Every structure is written in C-alpha cells, then in structure tokens.
Amino acid sequence: MVEHTGIRVVHRGGSKINFREPVITSDSRFLLCGSGESVKVYSTSTEECVHDLQGHTDLVTGVVLNPSNHLQAYSCSADGTVRLWDFTDGILIKTFIIRYHIFSIHVSEKHVGVLFVVVPMANEKELFQLVAVHLPRSGDPEVEVGELSAVLCDVSPNPGAVSFGTGGEYIAAAKGLQLEVFFFKKQKSYRFSLKSGMNKGINNSFTCISCHPKEDCIATGHADGKIRLWRNFNQKKEYTYSTLHWHHNAVNTLRFTPEGSTNLLSGGIESVLVQWRYTQENQKDFLPRLGAAITHIAVSPDGSLFCTSHADNKITIILSSVKVSAIIQGLVKDDCVRTDLMIDPRSKALVLNGKPGHLQFYSLHRDKQLYNLDIVQQEYIHEQGVDQFQVVKAAFDTHGDWLATVEERRQKSSELEINLKLWSYDEQTQSFVLNTTVTAPHEDQITAMCFSPSPETTLLVTTSLDGHFKAWLCQLAKKIESASWSCDFVGGYHLLKPGCCCFSADGSLLAFGFQEVVTVWSPTSWELLTTLSQPPGAVRDLCFGRLSCSKYLLGTSTKNQLCCWNLLTCSLEWNTPMDVSLLQADPFSENMAAFCSQSGSTDLFVFKPSEPRPLFSKKALCTGKVERAIFAPRDQMLESSEEYSQWLNRSQLYFLTQHMDLMTFSTKTEEDRLLASSKQLMVDDSVAITPFYLLLGRHKQQQQEKQELLTNPLAERTPLPQGSIAIKELLDTPAHVLPSASFLCSMFVRSLLVSSSSAR
C-alpha cells in the first residue's frame, strides 16, 4: 500500500459561522464572520458569500473592524496571529505575530494603533488576561509584535464579557460575580461584586456586558435571566443599578444600538430578540421565533442593521425596524447525524438532519444551505427533558421523485412511536410534498431502508428489529399526487433480526443481512434465492458492486471481516481481516471506500472489488471513528491522469468526523482550478460579486459602455464638418444653381454652430 501526497484532506465548507460575534461593516453592505480557519465576507442584502479570507492556520477567534480605516478588518486566531485584511478586495494586508493563543480581540477608536486581546496568563492556563498590543509601524507584511502590556488580569475568555465604554474612556469586564471597570485616564479600576445567590438556588453570575455608546451606563446580563443597568460606577459606594427581567434563562448576549435611538438588545435560549427602550425599559419589542438560541448580537455602526447568531449555525440579519431581512445559514450540526449522508439526485445537495425534526438540503459547491424540509411537522417545544420526534432515517429513489423518511420518539414511560412518511417531489413548488404517512410501520426500530433502483417499479424496503422486512409498493397513477403506497410483502428469515439491506445496481437482487446470515432475494417474485453465511460476527454493512463489478457483493461484519462474494458462483471470492466501520460505494464507478477504525484513528481504503490492490489508501485520516460518508458527484469532471487520484475524477468523497467536521479530499488539479477561478473573481467593483452578479453584471457593463459612448462630448465631435448636410449641399450642388454667396455664408456658419437640442 502506498501513501499519496497529492491528495489532501481538507475542510470544505460546513464550518461554524456562529462561533464568535459577526461584524457588520460601516456601510452595512457586508457582514464579516470567522468561519473555521477563514473569515467569510457575506453580502447583507443577497446573503451570498463574497470573499473567503484565508490565511489563518487555526480557528479564527474574533473579527473587528479597523477603527482608523473602515475598509479594513482585524482578525485574530488561535494560531497566535492577528491579520489585517482589506475585506472589499479580499486581500491580506499585514500579519502581526503575537505567539499566544488569542481568545478574543477588542478595539476602540480612542486607542489608535492599539489592539486589546485576551490571552492566557503566563503561568496558569486556566486564567486569562486582557493585554494591550501596540502595533509596530512597519512596511513588512509580517511583523513580530514584541510589546504587550497587561490591562486587566483574570478576565473571562468569552469576548462578550468585555466592552469598551463611552469613547473608549474605560473598559468593563465581568467574570463570575464580579464586574471590573478600568478607567484609562485615571489608570484606576473599580470592582463591584454581587452576592452569590447560590444558596437560594439562583445563579446570578455575569454572562455578558455592553456599554452605552453615549452615556455612562453599563448593561450586564446574568445567568438567571436578569439584566442590570449600572450607573455611577466611578464611586465605590454610591454606585447604583436597576434590574430588568424578562429572560427565563441565561442572557447570552447584550448589545446597545448606536446613538440616536439607543435601545438595548438582548437574547438568550428563548430565541427571542428583545429590544428594550433605554430609560423606558417597560416598553420592549420582541422578535420571536428566530429558530434557535441566540448566541451573539451585532449591530452595524450606523444602527440600521442588527444581526443575531444562533446556536444552529445561522446568522439572521434584522432591519432596525425589527424585521428579518436575510438569513445566512451554515450547515446545521447537532451532536450527531442520525440519518445517513445522502445526495439529493435532483439538486445534488447533501441531505442530512438539520434542525430538530427537519432535513436540510445543503449545497456542497456553494457551501450554503438550500432549504429545510419540515419532516415532523410538529411545533418544537424547547424544554429540557422533553422527548421530541426525531428523523432517524431518510432515503431518496434514483430520480429524486420520492423521499422516504422515518421519525421516531421514545418516551421513558411509553412505547416507541414510529412514523414512515413518503414524500413526492412537486415540480411546481420545487420541493417535496407529503404523500403518505404510515404510522407504526414496524413494531420496533427500523434499522435500514432503501429504494429499489429499477426504473419499472417504485419499491421501498424497510428492515426492522422486530425480525421482519417489509416491501412497500407505489401504485402509480397519472398524477404523482394521487399515487398510493401499500405494503407489498412482509418477509423474514428464521426470526433473525435484519440489520441492513441493499439493492443491486439494476434492482434485480436484494440482499439482507440477518445477523450472521446474508440472504439474497428477488424483489419481483419475493423468493429467497440464496443464503450466504460467513464466519462469526453479525453483518454490519452490505454493498453490491457496480458496473463491471456488479457480480460482487461485499459485506462487513462486526468481527473484523470484509468479505466479497461472487454472486455467479455463490461463493466467497476473497476476505480480509479489517475492522471496517463504514463501507460506501461510489454510484458513478466501481470504486468502494472502506473506513477502518484502528487504535483511535481512522484509515481509508479505496478499492475495486475485482482487484486485489487498493487504488488509494490513507492512514490516520482523522481521530475517532468515521460514521458517515458519501460520494458526491462533481459538477465538472476532473481530468486527472495520475492513477492514485483517478477515483476522484467523477465524484468526491465527503465524510463527517467524530467532532462533526465535514471533510473532503482535494487533488492538486482541483486546487489549481480553484485558485484560477478565485483570481478571475477578484474584479474590483463596488458591487458584491456573486454568481448572479456575474451573470447580470456583464450585461450591465456592456450597457454602460454603450451609454458612455453616447454621453461623451468627444464622441459628439466625431462627425466631421464634411459630413454635415449643409456642407454636402454646398459642395455637391452645381455652381449655377447655388444662391448668392451672402446667403450661403450665413447658412454655412449656422450649420457649424452646435444646436442646443442636439447637445442634450
């Protein structure tokens, strides 16, 4: 086996955009947010990603606008650097090397040339300090920063717990039960502590902080849902605060809107944006049903836009009239994906669990969620300990006309509730419409589900822990809406529990794994064709070979076996001892991908069932077990000639690691192509460059050129005097018919004058 250096494992999309507070630019046209190792620039009006600022080598932990140049932004990262970007052109201007793990960054207009970053304390890793970084003036693109001066010790690493006060005169930081206000002019800090409410069962510790832009008022949010407004905090005793209470759970984030109509925005797990009128705190506006817990709020410098980050990897852009104007949705990642990763055959989107009770359709090429399909169609009640219906299985048929989903709910006291739902694709609305609901299709959990790939019938097979498999047949009607589903066949094998099922590529064979026994059936006659038993260990995965290898059936077992049967001879072709956690077939080639977990990490082997040698192998792909993977079709075929990367020509393999990172493989040719396309995109223009713009913009440019021709005064002068009608008349007319010279003269002179109507 050989390792290939030409193929890299890369993050491609799907990273968190809600990790830190986003930033809206001062003209409110762009939104910047850290996303994994890059900073993304989104257009606030079209929701499209305009630039992907790449350069950091670790997680980006904060983005702020440069206070002295509103077209630039600083970003800090866990890799110990702060980078300065021109975000309109997507150019890295400077890199400041600080060499500490940076947790957050703060700037103030008053402190020019100084950045405030939160880094771990020198001797203790658990404690953090806020340090001022004096940026050296140097022309080099990479500058080492030597000078760090500590401002506040023992601060919270949460960037929401530090805020600059009016005009940068003081900085306020909260941690635990203590609020600290540091005045730069006096170089003096005041500390205010709250009495612990722990003995009363109240957690009143500080969670977030925000300072009023004009007045000396600090708003703090607390874990018990209260908001306190602190005033008079330049005195040790006579300070005072008032309390606002609406949130029933911790206040995650607080933000004052800029001067003018100053309001206080707050958000928490209730997923309601609350707008408190400053000094009229009884009057508050709500923006409810934002979908998920609010984690950050950002306000544009002119106050015309707000945006809220949500726990489900979403940024909502809200107008100042408290109306949602745009939603930037990243890949929704819960703790685990219960459905398999799937590719929607129509949109070629990745389909997986999204919000609770939903399936999300995620475009891998554009790194954008296309839409959410509400499967459960029940109001999601946010409460701890309430069991909700969850989508556990989903499957598409080959053309994408049908979608089958399984949802289940197990409550501690009651029995398992299962629903099988069948959705048909509606051409008009371009989405799936519920066709049939089967309540309790099986008596126990459904373990596998697949559609028959044969073009004649629409057949769905489900297997369940109750020892049966069922075949569901669609009686097709003229209209797809009036199609009806019925159970066609119920089968089993010696009361063993089926764990997986698989159709052959043409749909003529159907294989089930009944614990240790593999059974092969004919779906047309429902007759058991053959049984293939294998050495000990229950069957975990089954896969038919494709194209030239369609005579092979591959299976993996829990006892570290990968077996390949020849279906023509009904005998074992080969087997190898491997702990295969996942077996995935490429639908566009003969290739198979096997993820093997070995001593805490995962190895990948790509092979053809007919060939004994793997096409590609990669050791220690990532730590932990890979549970989900999918081959996604490429929109453009690669023409890679190298043998080791040929398997990536037609499709691309995506997989989810244990930490829910979506990874993929990229080849050299692909990267070259990407680089070229990004250069092509780098057009200097004031308009956000989106694919839509490229389509329309070119058209516009041509129009503009035309208009320029018309309005240019130089263009006006091109018709030379010879061309004018008066001169032509003068020169072409025979001399004997010409009028007198005195008459001609005035006519000639008049023809040279620029008439007022034509000038316009």
Q: Which of 184, 190, 246, 588 binds other proteins (CB under 8 A)?
A: 246
**Residue 437 Cα distances to 421, 470, 581, 605, angstroms:** 4, 15, 32, 40
Distance CA(317)–CA(25), nearest Å, equals: 13
CB of 216 to other proteins, least distance (A): 4
Whichever of 217 and 350 has its CB closer to other proteins, that residue is 217
201-209, 231-239, 301-309, 539-547 -> range binding other proteins (CB under 8 A):
231-239
Q: Are 400 and 346 in contact (CB under 8 A)?
A: yes
The strand order across the sheet containing 539-544 reads 539-544, 552-557, 561-566, 571-577
Q: Are 224 and 236 in contact (CB under 8 A)?
A: no
How many alpha carbons lie under 13 Å from residue 302 in its C-beta half-sphere? Answer: 9
Whichever of 230 and 389 has its CB closer to other proteins, that residue is 230
Degrees, nearest 5: CA angle 469-388-414: 70
Closest listed residue to residue 105, CA positions, set 82, 88, 123:
82
Distance CA(55)–CA(37), nearest Å, equals: 8
Q: Are 503 and 544 in contact (CB under 8 A)?
A: yes
Distance CA(577)–CA(556), nearest Å, equals: 10
CB of 234 to other proteins, least distance (A): 5
Whichever of 222 and 314 has its CB closer to other proteins, that residue is 222
Site string for other proteins, 193-222 (x = CB under 8 A): ---------------------xxxx-----
Residue owning tokens 């005579």: 551
Site string for other proteins, 267-296 (x = CB under 8 A): ------------xxxxx-------------
Query: Counting contacts by CB under 8 A, is residue 237 touching other proteins?
Result: yes
Query: Counting contacts by CB under 8 A, is residue 488 touching other proteins?
Result: no
Whichever of 240 and 430 has its CB closer to other proteins, that residue is 240
CB of 177 to other proteins, least distance (A): 16
Residue 438, token pair as written in the block:
């089967």
**Residue 759 Cα distances to 302, 712, 717, angstroms:** 42, 11, 11
67-75, 242-250, 380-388, 593-601 -> range binding other proteins (CB under 8 A):
242-250
Residue 198 has phi, psi (to 5 degrees) of -60, -35
Q: Are 72 and 52 in contact (CB under 8 A)?
A: no
Query: Counting contacts by CB under 8 A, is residue 261 touching other proteins?
Result: no
Q: Which of 12, 231, 559, 634 binds other proteins (CB under 8 A)?
A: 231
Query: Counting contacts by CB under 8 A, is residue 52 touching other proteins?
Result: no
SS3 167: helix
Query: Counting contacts by CB under 8 A, is residue 249 touching other proteins?
Result: no
Residue 115 has phi, psi (to 5 degrees) of -110, 145
How many alpha carbons lie under 13 Å from residue 685 in its C-beta half-sphere? Answer: 16
Degrees, nearest 5: CA angle 507-511-515: 160
CB of 183 to other proteins, least distance (A): 9
CB of 536 to other proteins, least distance (A): 60
Closest listed residue to residue 623, CA positions, set 599, 653, 592:
599
Query: Counting contacts by CB under 8 A, is residue 232 touching other proteins?
Result: yes
Whichever of 19 and 233 has its CB closer to other proteins, that residue is 233
Residues 728-757 touching other proteins, rule: CB under 8 A, are none
Q: Which of 126, 238, 527, 705 binds other proteins (CB under 8 A)?
A: 238
User: Using CA atoms in the order 433, 435, 437, 438, what is the torsion angle rounded to 10 degrees?
Assistant: -140
Q: Are strands 60-66 and 69-77 parallel, antiparallel or unpaired?
A: antiparallel
Whichever of 274 and 501 has its CB closer to other proteins, that residue is 274
241-249, 507-515, 684-692, 723-731 -> range binding other proteins (CB under 8 A):
241-249
Helix or strand run (H / E) with residue 743:
helix 741-752
Q: Which of 57, 138, 196, 243 binds other proteins (CB under 8 A)?
A: 243
CB of 243 to other proteins, least distance (A): 6
> DSSP label at 161?
G
Query: Counting contacts by CB under 8 A, is residue 166 touching other proteins?
Result: yes
Q: Count residues contacting other proteins (CB under 8 A)?
A: 23
Site string for other proteins, 304-333 (x = CB under 8 A): ------------------------------
> DSSP label at 319?
E
Q: Which of 240, 249, 598, 712 binds other proteins (CB under 8 A)?
A: 240
Q: Which of 184, 190, 239, 588 binds other proteins (CB under 8 A)?
A: 239
CB of 278 to other proteins, least distance (A): 10
Residues that bind other proteins (CB under 8 A): 166, 214-217, 231-234, 237-243, 246, 248, 279-283
